[in-house]
Every structure is written in structure tokens, then in C-alpha cells.
Amino acid sequence: MSVAKVRTFTEPPEARVGGGSYRTGELKGIIRINPRHCVGCDTCRKVCPAGAISGEIGVTHRIEIDRCINCGQCLTNCPFGAIEQMAFVEEVLRKLGDKETLAVAIIAPAVRVAIAEEFGAPPGTLTVGRLHKALKEAGFVIYENNFAADQTILEEGTELLGRIAYWLLGLKELEIEVWGKKIKVGLEHFKHKPLPQFTSCCPAWVRYAELYYPKVLPHVSSCKSPQQMAGASAKTYGAIDIWKHNPAKVYTVGIMPCTAKIFEASRPEFCHAQKWLEEHGRLPQRSPRMPDVDAVLTTRDLAALFRRLNINPLRFPEAETPQDFEWYSGGATIFGSSGGVMEAAVRFAFHVLSGEEPDALSSAWDFKQVRGYTDPVVEATIQVPLKPAYQKLLGSDRFELRVCTVNGIGTEGSHLKPIINDAVAGRSNFHFIEVMTCSGGCLNGGGQPVNPMGTSWIDPLLPLRL
């Protein structure tokens, strides 16, 4: 089955001026309805998680930009192709043609199981090695977003254990051992970070929380998303120690299944590489702002870029030997599916608290009860055996880790609101909550190939496109 074509537009001059719910520099209007093509069918309004679309049936609809969380679910579900997306293909092509610039591709896990659809392969066709080779043919070097996802889960998992130790045990310091290395974690700063902890990987969910539930923000993990971790690492450690390239000439490109990632990359606080480089004398003080991630291409945008360069990833062989930032774990790969971040965090907590390290292919690493599948909300209690040091702290031989996965926040946040309300009111029984705005997770993100039938994938009772 061929995919539907999505109309795109380049960044307009007023896109970063700020105002309303946007700060100066943040991209606004990433998703827009073209009034020449809208027939007022009302599909977009019915699937909008933020209630940001207005219009009566039969009348041209409009997006209220200040309420929009940039998830793109309206776009992927519009049966008439009336919704358009801001794209940066031309800018990326210019950078690829600049011999002084090192272009870095940060590839999200959901892209590799979707890009093949754009070139005629069946949905779900896996293209890891072929995609890497195609990107290198285009002129990129690779920084796997999966590599950064492994970084993320080390940070987020440690933060979760820190919150549990502070709030449930009253500890001021916690010693954890990860793969034979002991680390002492100070816990005083967790007094402002209560349980339950919410994930922070989904930028549409983070914007939803900021706009509609600011009281929940202390519960949201302080970790940056894998994309933003990758961008900062690529322009520091990657540029200096691996690629031996001037960091000021490194151009990072997130390749994402998600339109909200375009917004996330534009957030003004994400210029940590520049701050580090200036502090360490690698950049002149007060240099022009250097974002950690310079541009984001959706899966569809990447296909458009490949076509412009006459590259078909399916023509390359799949086998390859990973190098540098191309290595990653299975825990990183599952980030793209609902429950994936949760399962990776549970695996980390299980390893630290129990001291056990099952074989990589062992079913002991599978915590299927946290996966979203077709349920809008999944609750689970994981029985974690404790090693002796933690048994003494907890007075028990096991810890019951209570978790919740929100698989798509639902129309106007219907799936999510009860979970947030309980957390803010102090009624929540959970320790950790994963939130993905799109049903099924990033696999069904707003930047993925679009089914030409315009079928809604946001309803968790419908089969997921896996």
C-alpha cells in the first residue's frame, strides 16, 4: 500500500517571535490547517489531545496555536490531506552540501520501522543497517538516538530510585551499584521532586503539562529526552573526541517520528553544549546561540530528502558492523513503543535493587505487564527481589514497584486527566508513570508515514500499526 503525501511548508519569518504561550525562539505554527483543502469533516477536532482545534461540521476548522501541543495527530488522521507540517529539508540539504559542516543524524527507533513504507515496503519492515548506510551516503555521520536512550534510562532510572529512597525511606544519600560500579547519589534535591515520577521523553506531553497542569511539573523527570541528550553529547564529546571536528561546525539533525520534536529542539534552554564549550574554552564567550539540535526531520521529511538525493535505503544491504555512537541496548530500542520507556526503567531498577543480571535473551528481562498494547491505561505492580543491603533498608526481601503506562493521552486528555489529578492531589499509588501522547507510542507519531485512508490510529481500541 502506498502512503499519502503530506504537504509541508518552510519556516515563516514570524515563527520564532514568541508571544502567547510561546517564548522568543520557540517555533510556533508547526502544524497548520490549509483552508483551501479543509472540508470541515471534524476528524481533526475529535482526535486532538489538547482541545486546540475549533470549527463546526462543514465549516473550515482552525488550530488555536497557543493551545496546540504539536503532536500532529490531527495531521495523520485528516482524511483529506488538509493539514500541513513545517519542514526543514531545504536547510538540511544546504548543510549537507557545505564541506566545512559535519552533519550528524540522530535516528529515533520508530523511524527504522517506518521509513521503508515511504519506499513501497510493507509496514513494519525493519531497516537498521540499510538506513545507516543511506544516511552515510547522504553525507551524515550517525549518533543513534538509541545510544542516547540508554543514557536517558541510566539518568531517569537513577532519579526514580533517588525519589523512592528520599520519599519512602527518608534517606539523604543512596549508594547504587551498576554493572559492578558503586555510585553514591545525594538525595537532598529530591525534596522538590515528589513521587510519582512521570517520564519526560515525549515533548507533546511535556507541553501539555506546562499548558494545562503546571502543578504536575515537579513530578516530571528532570532528564532531557534522548534527542536533546544526543545533541549536546554530539557537539561536545562527539565533536572533540570522536570526530575531531570543530564543534561550531557540527550540525545536528534529529530524525524523528514526531512533529513535537521540531518544537522541542527550538526551546531556548537547550543550548547546553554551547555553555560547556564556552566554560572550557572551546568557544568564545557569548558566541551566537548554538542549539543542541539544529533541525528536526520527520520520517516523511527524511524520505523527501532521500528522494532529492536519489537515495533509496532499501537498495542497501542490511548487515553492518556498528561503530562509535551506533551501539545500543534492547532497552533503548523499545523506547518507540508505548510502555517501552517504562520497561527499560523497570529493567534498570530490577538490576540495581536485586543485583541480578539475567542473560540478554532471558524472559526475566521481559515485563510485558507494563506494555501499552491496545489499552489506554495500563497499571502493574512489579515484585523486585532485593539484595541484602536493600533488604536491611526496607525491612523486606522484596520491593513492590507500582507503575502506570498512559498509552495515548486521549481526546482532550481524557485518558491522562484522572492520572494527573490523583498525582497532584497526593492520591496516586504509583511510583513511576509513563506518558506517550500518541496511541501506541512514537510508532504512531505525527511525523510517521500516513495511511491514505485517513484511518484514525489514536483510538487504543483499534489495532496498532506495529
pLDDT, one tens digit per residue, over 142-178 is 999 999 998 999 999 999 999 999 999 999 999 888 8
Phi and psi at residue 174, to the nearest 5°: -135, 130
Enter the C-alpha cell of residue 207: 507541553
Phi and psi at residue 101, to the nearest 5°: -95, 135
Q: What does DSSP say about strands 53-54 and 62-63: parallel, antiparallel, or unpaired?
A: antiparallel
Helix (H) or strand (E) holding 351: helix 340-354
User: H/E/C letters for each residue in 209-234?
Assistant: HHHHCHHHHHHECCCCCHHHHHHHHH
Please report the pLDDT score of residue 198 as a whole number.
97
pLDDT, one tens digit per residue, over 100-139 is 999 999 999 999 999 999 999 988 888 899 999 999 999 9
Nearest partner of 447 among 25, 31, 22, judged by Cα: 31
Nearest-angstrom CA–CA distance, 53 and 59: 12
Sign of CA dihedral 58, 60, 65, 68: positive
CB distance 261 to 281 below 8 Å? no
Q: What is the DSSP string of 40-69?
A: ---HHHHH-TT--EE--TTS--EE-GGG--
Nearest partner of 411 among 73, 47, 56, judged by Cα: 47
Label residue 460 by pLDDT band (50, 70, 90).
Answer: very low
pLDDT average, residue stretch 364-386: 89
Please report the pLDDT score of residue 55 as a whole number.
93
Nearest-angstrom CA–CA distance, 423 and 406: 14
Is the pLDDT confidence value at 213 over 80? yes
pLDDT average, residue stretch 439-456: 81
Is the pLDDT confidence value at 466 over 50? no
Is the pLDDT confidence value at 399 over 50? yes
Please report the pLDDT score of residue 318 as a whole number.
85
The 10 Å CB-count burial string (b at 16+, else e) for 359-369 is eeeeeebebeb
Other beta carbons within 10 angstroms of residue 466's beta carbon come to 12
Enter the C-alpha cell of residue 437: 501522547
Is the pLDDT confidence value at 8 over 70? yes
Task: Give the length of the chain.
Answer: 466
Nearest-angstrom CA–CA distance, 258 and 90: 19
CB distance 370 to 403 below 8 Å? yes
Q: What does DSSP say about strands 8-9 and 83-86: parallel, antiparallel, or unpaired?
A: parallel
pLDDT average, residue stretch 8-36: 96
Is the pLDDT confidence value at 449 over 70? yes
Query: Which residues does the annotation mark as catalytic?
Result: 156, 159, 201, 221, 261, 264, 269, 442
Q: 77-81, 84-88, 248-252: which has the minimum mean pLDDT?
A: 77-81
Taking CA atoms, 339 is separated from 119, 129, 160, 221, in Å, by: 29, 25, 16, 16
Sign of CA dihedral 289, 290, 291, 296: positive
Q: What percentage of the chain reaches a pLDDT higher than 90?
A: 74
Is the pLDDT confidence value at 456 over 60? no
Q: 8-17, 200-209, 444-453: which has the minimum mean pLDDT?
A: 444-453
Please report the pLDDT score of residue 463 as a whole number.
36
Nearest-angstrom CA–CA distance, 68 and 21: 9
Interhelix angle 226-233/145-169, rounded to 10 degrees, is 120
Is the pLDDT confidence value at 319 over 80? no
Average pLDDT for the chain: 91
Please report the pLDDT score of residue 333 as a whole number.
81
Structural domains of the chain in order of their starting residue, each with its CATH number:
8-85 (3.30.70.20), 89-146+226-326 (3.40.50.1780), 156-223+331-444 (3.40.950.10)
Label residue 453 by pLDDT band (50, 70, 90).
Answer: low
